[in-house]
């Protein structure tokens, strides 16, 4: 029975990369279902994502063995994934549940190919919601004095549950450098990126008071530099003077939910490759 796989490659750009990869797949009776590539003229880096199928597990073993010397030849950073295997996701949330609710709905109905294995929060507001989906809820209260201990609990949960991705779905806590490093490359955050002047509580009310004309959201990878990790997805919505602060909040919440779900989908489908501090995303 055929099984689908995804191969991602990043390496210094040079001739012969695509020919070598496709030739190896042909040698092993691999069928390329989709292939996308990008060469960055500025960084001189090459990026490739290949979705392909193989007939047997033996062919997969042969591919892994034969790809290793190819990877060395082209100085590749490469990864091979099963297209059928769902990513194991842990969602962190505080008191705003719009992104959490959206992710739960999309996962349940199959539009988001993930297995949500845990919901963690520093509040109990969404314990009942988690129970309604049959997902374990972990209450993780935090104070300045217990921050290190609470973050260690998060790290332990990620390890114990074999979590592939942590999603900060309006989790209103600043992660320590230690936790950021522990989750490097596997934690995504959402924030109101097009309101850079309105930090802290009630940003949409601040924006309303200033008469903004666009609001939006950005999803990005979590790094120790607050809200400055590689950007994955962004969107905006136009607003006007007739809208109240509550209207802006609703529009902003909807935009945040959409942007975060797109970012998570890109990640779990292995469509994102890092290009320095930027991302290459094959859609």
How do the domains of the chain map onto residue ranges?
Answer: 3-82, 87-281
Q: Which residues pair with 49 in a beta bridge?
A: 8, 36
- Indicate which residues carry an active-site annotation: 227
CA distance 116 to 104: 8
In this predicted structure, what is the pLDDT of residue 200? Answer: 67
CA distance 254 to 252: 5
Instruction: Give the model confidence (pLDDT) of 119-130 as tens digits.
Output: 999 999 999 999
Q: What tokens does 167 get? A: 């999603």
135: number of Cβ within 10 Å: 18
In this predicted structure, what is the pLDDT of residue 191? Answer: 86
Phi-psi category of 152—alpha, beta or left, where left has phi over 0 and alpha has psi -120 to 50? Answer: alpha
- The answer to whether domain 3-82 and domain 87-281 are alike in fold is no
- Proportion of the chain above pLDDT 70, given as a percent: 96
User: What 3-state class would DSSP assign to 39?
Assistant: strand
Burial class (CB in 10 A: 0-12, 13-18, 19+), 230: middle
In this predicted structure, what is the pLDDT of residue 195? Answer: 45
24: number of Cβ within 10 Å: 16
Q: Helix crossing, 245-268 with 98-108: angle to 10°?
A: 40
CA distance 209 to 232: 29
The CATH architecture one would assign to domain 3-82 is: 2-Layer Sandwich (3.30)
**pLDDT tens digit at each of 283 positions of the chain:** 679 999 999 999 999 999 999 999 999 999 999 999 999 999 999 999 999 999 888 899 999 999 999 999 999 999 999 999 999 999 999 999 999 999 999 999 999 999 999 999 999 999 999 999 999 999 999 999 999 999 999 999 999 999 999 999 999 999 999 999 999 999 999 987 654 456 667 777 877 777 778 888 999 999 988 777 898 999 999 999 999 989 989 999 999 999 999 999 999 999 999 998 899 999 9
In this predicted structure, what is the pLDDT of residue 256? Answer: 96
CA distance 5 to 91: 26
First to last CA, the chain: 27
Burial class (CB in 10 A: 0-12, 13-18, 19+), 251: middle
Query: What superfamily in CATH does domain 87-281 come from?
Result: Formyl transferase, N-terminal domain (3.40.50.170)
Please, are residues 50 and 7 in contact by the beta-carbon 8 Å criterion?
yes
In this predicted structure, what is the pLDDT of residue 197? Answer: 53
Instruction: Give the model confidence (pLDDT) of 175-198 as tens digits.
Output: 999 999 999 999 999 987 654 456
E strand or H helix at 149:
helix 147-160
């Amino acid at each position: 029975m055929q099984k689908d796989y995804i191969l991602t490659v990043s390496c210094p750009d040079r001739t012969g990369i695509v020919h070598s990869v496709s030739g190896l797949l042909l040698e092993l009776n691999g069928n390329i279902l989709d292939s996308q590539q990008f060469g960055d003229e500025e960084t001189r880096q090459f990026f490739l994502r290949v979705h392909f199928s193989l007939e047997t597990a033996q062919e997969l073993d042969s591919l892994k063995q034969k790809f290793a010397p190819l990877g060395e030849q082209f100085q590749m950073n490469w990864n091979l994934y099963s297209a059928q295997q769902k990513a194991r996701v842990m969602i962190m949330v505080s008191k705003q549940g719009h992104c959490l609710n959206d992710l739960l709905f999309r996962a349940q109905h199959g539009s988001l190919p993930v297995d949500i294995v845990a919901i963690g929060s520093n509040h109990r507001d969404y314990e009942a919601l988690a129970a309604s989906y049959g997902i374990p809820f972990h209450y993780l209260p935090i104070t300045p004095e217990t921050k290190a201990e609470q973050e260690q609990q998060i790290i332990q949960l990620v390890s114990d549950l074999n979590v592939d991705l942590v999603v900060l779905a309006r989790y209103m806590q600043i992660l320590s450098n230690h936790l950021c490093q522990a989750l490097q490359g596997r934690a995504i955050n959402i924030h109101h990126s097009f309101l850079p002047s309105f930090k802290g509580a009630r940003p949409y009310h601040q924006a309303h008071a200033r008469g903004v004309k666009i609001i939006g959201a950005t999803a990005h990878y979590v790094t120790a530099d607050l809200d400055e990790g590689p950007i994955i997805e962004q969107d905006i919505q136009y607003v006007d003077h007739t809208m109240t602060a509550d209207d802006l909040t609703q529009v902003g919440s909807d935009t945040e939910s959409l942007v975060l779900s797109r970012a998570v989908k890109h990640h779990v489908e292995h469509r994102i490759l890092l290009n320095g501090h930027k991302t290459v995303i094959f859609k």
